[in-house]
Chains A and B, each alone.
Chain A
Amino acid sequence: DQQVKQNSPSLSVQEGRISILNCDYTNSMFDYFLWYKKYPAEGPTFLISISSIKDKNEDGRFTVFLNKSAKHLSLHIVPSQPGDSAVYFCAAKRNSGGSNYKLTFGKGTLLTVNP
């Protein structure tokens, strides 16, 4: 039972254009969402996060949007650069209601940015 779904296994974009990676979740108790980036032979690294009290969070070229009613979030990268080519994982957790710090991850989306 996948509680966090990334339905696009891969995405290819041209350098300089926008990359949009999508993520859906089914567990309405999730209230904190994160994106991780993973290069080959390395562990995932934290990229950006958003709390359920917000609908947008921006950090440089990276923006995460959250639509709670649709249980959907997206990561926008503008402009995309070849160094952004990596696997991107969407993750979610429940921050409230006690100590539950475990993250539930999606399967990941492989982003390829072509020069």
Chain B
Amino acid sequence: DAGVIQSPRHEVTEMGQEVTLRCKPISGHDYLFWYRQTMMRGLELLIYFNNNVPIDDSGMPEDRFSAKMPNASFSTLKIQPSEPRDSAVYFCASSFAHYGYTFGSGTRLTVV
């Protein structure tokens, strides 16, 4: 089991550019979560999916953020246009039902 796979590991982009973060959950897991980690706010839940359907996106900060899960093995988090305050580490996690989460290694995003 390769675990939750996120790509890229690091992303540096200029303000105004579109950024796409990718996640491959663990096979068989039916929940997928996107979190953002910052010093000020810790780990914040952005959005989560159940069986590929978005359930709660109340944590998505603005319309510039969007997330999709076209199938059980892939999800994307897109920021368009990106801003310096979006700089953070973005984590994807998956779980089976109410069992514990497995996190990916994260994507460190820097917007300059």
Contact = CB atoms under 8 A, between A and B. Distances in A.
A36 B91 CA distance: 14
Given A43-B4, A45-B103, A106 B48 contact: no
B25 interface: no
A103 B103 contact: no
Contacts of B106: 41-43
A104 interface: yes
A42 B9 CA distance: 10
A89 interface: yes
Contacts of B95: 101
Interface residues of A, number: 20
19 contacts: A42-B106, A43-B4, A43-B93, A43-B105, A44-B43, A46-B102, A89-B42, A99-B50, A101-B98, A102-B48, A103-B33, A103-B45, A103-B101, A104-B45, A105-B42, A105-B44, A106-B42, A107-B42, A108-B42
Interface of B: 4, 31, 33, 35, 41-45, 48, 50, 56, 91, 93, 95, 97-98, 100-106
